[in-house]
Structure 1
Amino acid sequence: MRIRVTWLDRAYHGQEWPPSPLRLYSALVAGAGSTCMTDPQFKAALEHLARLDPPTIYAPTTIELGPTAASVPNNDGDVILGFQARGDDAGARRKTSKLRTIRVRHRHQIEGEGAVTYVWTPNSTTPDHRQGLNRLAAGLTALGQGIDTAWASVEVDSDRPDGLRWEPNAQGAHQLTVPYDGVLDVLEERYQASRRRIAVDGTVRMVPEPQHRQIPYRCELDPPRRRWTLMSLRTLEDGQWSAPGNAATAVAAMTRHAVHQAAQRAGLGREIIAALMGHGDDRQRILTSPIPNVGHVYADGRIRRVLLTAPLTLDLEIWRAVTYRLIGAELSPPEAPPAAMLAPTDQGDRLQHRYLGTASTWTSATPVILPGFDTNRRGKPRPQKAVRRLLAYSGIDPALVETVTFEPAPILRGAMRGADAQPPRHLAHWPRVHLSIQWRVPVTGPLALGAGVGYGYGVLMAAA
């Protein structure tokens, strides 16, 4: 069973994309309330819809346009009634021109036919509510904000709807609110409370927003999610410690050795430790990526943090057993006394959101090592082939990428040039570039591309 929503002007002004299932549910409730909410058929269909499992969503891509400002009336319009009661029409007009406020909206321009389809898995009683669901869909007038006029229909077509597939998934990076059993009563209580928010004596009561159920959704184009922990580099006396940006390989090697020792202290078996170190199954490998201080006005390019990542296929207990034992672990150069130690980062770390946040545009914070040469017989570069090979090497669906731009120089302040990088010997002969990627949908970090992943190269940063 599916509900298809189409916007009349192919524009959407809500905060999230795609519109959450609860937003659609609320729009259906509003449409029913504007017609005849006392009809028991409406209530039974809405309660049935809330008890079904969260739907799969098929949504087209959107173009997020710049914010637009509009002058709209504020909530002091009752003051005008006093002027009109005294017969002062001129004063009422002057006051009306002043009772305006600026409202900023963020517009999503919907590509294609401008429709989103919500697909529920029906149960044995769903056919009994088909007529009620049809009437609910017919009553929908808007989805998003008030200006997002739309219409809806119930469909039973078995073909795959158009658009990207968004499905409930524990590994998803997008939190969307969904209907749940009893949500209809919650919405009704909030509506009645908002009607009573102004008391007889003029007191205005606040109506709190209820805490609705949220679940993670994953777009079919999203890169695989990873476990991660960000740690800072400290001296043995717990002071600040840093390394130059071109020492990424050395810092990664010291951190990798610390991971090996932590795994041994955790009592893990030899096969598991070998997999953690990358000798075998990549689905359990822990990668170490030194993080440079780049991308802001005070950036100096030095390394003060290390990001450790692993696929979600690595058992959580093994991940915790290793990462917990890394706190206070010493980092030692070959045949030298310890130079630094690992410590947890502060919760307010100013760079954390740039490497681990969500954005549509990401750019390289360290040079990306291309996995091979992509030139024709005359030595002319073939950037499209280079991009395809790079994405295939990193396990990313090319359909997720809107554009890839190779930068002639690093665009982030403090970032290291490709020529200054000192990668491992087996990667030294491969091309090193900086690039920016525009994704078709917002992507959540951490992200790293290329053959230098795990050695401090190919780390991406979200656009500010």
Structure 2
Amino acid sequence: MLTATVEFLHGTFRADPDGTAHTGRLSHGEWPPAPSRLFDALVAADGTGDRCRHTDGSELGVLETAPCPSIEASAEAHHQQLNDRFVVQQRGGPVKSQQQEYVARTAALVRPGVRVSPRVPTVQYRWPVEVDERQLSALQVRAARVGYLGCADSPVRVRFERPSDEAASRAEVFVPDEAGDVVIGVPVPGRVQMLDAAFATWTEHGTSVGRSQFPALVTKARYRSPSADEGAAAHGRIVAALILRPAVSGRRVAVVAATFKAAVLLRFQDLHEAEPPGALHGHGFEGTGYDLARYLSLPDVGHAHARGRIHAVALWLPPECDESIGTAAREAVHSIRRLVGQGVNVSAEAWDGQRRPLAARPDRWTRPSRRWVTAFPAIHERHVPPTLEEIGRWCRHAGLPQPVSFRSSRSPLLKGGASLAPTEVHRPGKPQRPYSHVELLFDKPAAGPVVIGSGRQRGLGLCLPVGDRSALPMPSRDRG
């Protein structure tokens, strides 16, 4: 095992994760720092080939060909979007627009991007590889010459070591996983040659050469973040999410779900040149029970300023779905750039760990809780009054435990919850059933997403986890 420890001396980290900081639209910084960024810093520390002064460069091949490392990093990090600023730019000859304080000089707009402040300013990378003393010593020499990571205002201290097998690791670990929820840059074989080619071109042509001209340097792998619920696989999983801009009224939940489903099925067929599996559309489905994909609309609910607008959509797959279907479906979702339907025309952006909007974060809907409250009303499965036995039937069909208590209401029980008219709930030509907002209390914390009722494939009956408030009595039904 080879370990690299990176300590951020200012407690902050600033880097441009995808080359979009100059647009001013970057809202989420890079976290954790990509292993490819650390690798590039090590290359720059002593160069390659004839440019090496203290090493021979062979040690870089160890990291270049090694499997993706696990990353021990704080899952909690604050992303601060920095303000644009103007700086004086030195130019020769006369200029039309001059700085008042600096004659014959003009100003240039600088967009610093996003500064990340992690709860713990130390990151560890662990590679499952063996290195000899010479290679370890060479990596330590390069690490000692790394002064910062990302931008120059992110000074670091880097060290390499071989920890003992008994060395304890923190619980917050980003683990390589093809079904992971975040994408992180990693080095691949041949990266040194690509960096050498970029450096040679820059040496010849100067600052007109940018990193964006070398797309082969963008090599990423999927990781499972610490916030991803390990037990979620038993209840199915959210495989992908899209952020909608602008947000859509919560009253259009049925239209948004139908538009999202149609886009996923179309993109799946276009990308993979195959008929989507029955679990995605329900036609010809050979499984038992109610294990079909759910097309969820994620609204802004549950806080004092909630407006109930839909900020994101997500695709949930049941636990019986093969991993290959999940991977193919994720690719289809992430390829969607726009949702266009009846009264809906919004752009779509893949959720990739962004802190905001809060509604788009899967962990907001999946964290375990004893108490769950509907954000969208749940459609009754039968024409009978909602009793504890009947609600328990809904929960069994949704793969949930039996609740110990509940209450129901025609009006929303959450701030921002949707109060829908019958035409906004029922599909034309389909049987119409009653629908209600429901609050559930389980004996033990249940992992989400919790979606109940006969409309759960369309996201109706989606619940938000709330505080237990165990000391408060909870009636079995609210008739008022």
Q: What is aligned with 1:43?
A: 57
Instruction: Work out whether residues 174 and 217 of structure 1, in 8 Å CA contact, stay in contact via their aligned partners in 2.
Output: yes
- Asked if residue 456 in structure 1 is aligned to residue 460 in structure 2, the reply is yes
One-letter amino acid matched to 1:353: A
Counterpart selection for 2:358 from 332, 355, 362: 362
Aligned position for 1:63: 78
Gaps of 5+ in 1: 84-89, 231-242, 279-284, 323-344, 375-389, 396-406, 434-446
Q: 2:338 aligns with which of 326, 348, 354?
A: 348
Displacement of 1:117 after TM fit?
0.6
Residue 31 (structure 1) aligned with residue 45 (structure 2): yes
1:95 to 87, 97, 104: 104
C-alpha distance after superposition, 1:398-455 (max 9, x if no partner): xxxxxxxxx975448xx4379999899999584289xxxxxxxxxxxxx843545546
Contact preservation (8 Å) 1:57, 1:165: yes
Mark the structure with the bigger radius of gyration: 1
Q: Which amino acid aligns with 2:348?
A: H
CA distance in 1, matches of 2:210, 2:349: 35
- How many angstroms apart in 1 are the aligned matches of 2:319 and 2:145? 43
Instruction: Work out whether residues 138 and 152 of structure 1, in 8 Å CA contact, stay in contact via their aligned partners in 2.
Output: yes
What's 1:342 paired with?
A: none
Per the normalisation by structure 2, the TM-score is 0.55
- The answer to whether the 8 A contact 1:289-1:459 is kept is no
Alpha-carbon distance in 2 for matches of 1:429, 1:292:
16
Does the CA-based 8 Å contact 2:8-2:155 persist in structure 1? Answer: yes
CA RMSD of aligned residues (A): 5.4
**Corresponding residue to 2:181 among 173, 196, 216:** 173
In structure 2, C-alpha distance between the alignment counterparts of 1:63 and 1:244, rounded to whole Å: 32
Instruction: Return the match for 1:310 from 303, 306, 317.
Output: 317
Change (3 A) 1:137 1:311: farther
Q: Please state whether the residue corresponding to 1:133 is helix, strand or coil.
A: helix
8 Å contact kept, 1:63–1:108? yes
Q: Does 1:129 align with 2:119?
A: no
What letter is aligned with 1:79? Answer: G
Asked if the contact 1:42/1:133 (under 8 Å) is kept, the reply is no
- Residue 147 in 1 paired to residue 153 in 2? yes
- Kindly report which structure 2 residues correspond to 1:116-265, keeping only aligned pairs within 5 A, or say none: 116-123=123-130, 125-158=131-164, 159-162=167-170, 164-198=172-206, 204=208, 208-212=213-217, 213-223=219-229, 225-227=237-239, 265=284
Percent of pairs with identical residues? 17
Compute the TM-score of the two structures, normalised by the length of structure 1. 0.57
- C-alpha separation in 1, matches of 2:313 and 2:359: 18
Residue number in structure 1 paired with 2:32: 18
**In the alignment, which residue of structure 2 is the partner of 1:79?**
92
Measured in 2, the distance between the counterparts of 1:246 and 1:91 equals: 54
Q: CA deviation at 1:13?
A: 0.9
Give, in angstroms, the shift of residue 2 of structure 1: 0.5
Question: Which whole-Å CA distance do the structure 2 matches of 1:418 and 1:133 have between them?
Answer: 65
Distance in 2 between the 1:27 and 1:302 partners? Answer: 43
User: Which whole-Å CA distance do the structure 2 matches of 1:30 and 1:320 have between them?
Assistant: 36
The one-letter code matched in structure 2 to 1:348 is R
- CA–CA distance in structure 2, aligned partners of residues 3 and 104 of structure 1: 27
| Corresponding residue of 2:292 | 286
**Partner Cα distance (2:215, 2:327) in 1:** 34
Change (3 A) 1:425 1:355: farther
Which secondary structure state, in structure 2, belongs to the residue aligned with residue 152 of structure 1? strand
* Cα offset, 1:101, TM superposition: 2.9
Separation in 2 of the partners of 1:352 and 1:107?
26
Deviation, 1:154, is 1.2
Q: In structure 2, what is the Cα distance between the partners aligned to 1:448 and 1:457?
A: 10
> When the two structures are aligned, how many residues end up with a matched partner?
340
User: Given that residues 73 and 101 in structure 1 are in contact (C-alpha distance below 8 angstroms), is that contact kept between their aligned partners in structure 2?
Assistant: no
For 2:347 and 2:452, the matched residues in 1 are separated by: 23
Name the counterpart of 1:436. none
The answer to whether the Cα contact below 8 Å between 1:178 and 1:215 also exists between their aligned partners in 2 is: yes
